[in-house]
Amino acid sequence: MKLAFTKTDTAADLTITRSDGSADSWLTTMACGIPHDLIHWIVEDHFDLKHAFYGQIAAGTDQYAVNELAEPESELAKTEKLVLLIQTDHDIRAGKLNASSSHLRGLYGLRYPSFCADSDVDQICEKISSQSQRWAALHAGETLEFEFFEGGETSGL
């Protein structure tokens, strides 16, 4: 599935084209200086997740209905929490939040899953920073493209 994030004056339009040729698009919010749904792609690509947000979209689920499908122990639900944790850690590292990561996680009773090592968080935060620089260099109407590779076994989240 192809993903095309087109910069607008205030956010991003995301257009997805599935392997069957069907397409969909929506406005995505911003987080960490890039589209929130791009952070999902970075996390899902890093851990090779096939049944989280983009796996559901690739299967034809409407983007607004995806989170309604999330069983608490599903890869989808666990990935959403993971993305939020990583966004928080990235913003703390970038000086956008003035609190410790452990303090904020404690407030909300969240923790990184056991498969997510400190080195994973470091690598993902670096990828977010890199994509933030690429995004900042774009003008309104310009696009960043990525690919989500469908199929495969679940990662076991």
Residue 140, pLDDT score: 97
Residues 100, 92 contacting (CB under 8 angstroms): yes
78 DSSP assignment: H
* Phi-psi sector, 137: left (phi>0), alpha (psi -120 to 50), beta: alpha
Residue 154, pLDDT score: 40
Q: What rounded mean pLDDT belongs to the chain?
A: 88
Express as a percent the part of the chain with pLDDT over 70: 95
Spatial strand order of the sheet with 12-17 comes to 23-28, 12-17, 2-7, 143-147
**What's the start-to-end Cα distance of the chain, in Å?**
22
pTM score: 0.89
Task: Please give the average per-residue pLDDT across 84-113, as a whole number.
Answer: 84
Rounded alpha-carbon distances, angstroms, from residue 53 to 4, 11, 36: 16, 19, 12
pLDDT category of residue 147 using cuts at 50, 70 and 90: very high
Which residue did the predictor score with more confidence, 91 or 137?
137
Structural domain spans, the chain: 30-133
Residues 46, 123 contacting (CB under 8 angstroms): yes
**Window from 49-63, 75-89, 100-114 with minimum mean pLDDT:** 100-114
CA dist., res. 142 & res. 150, Å (int)? 26
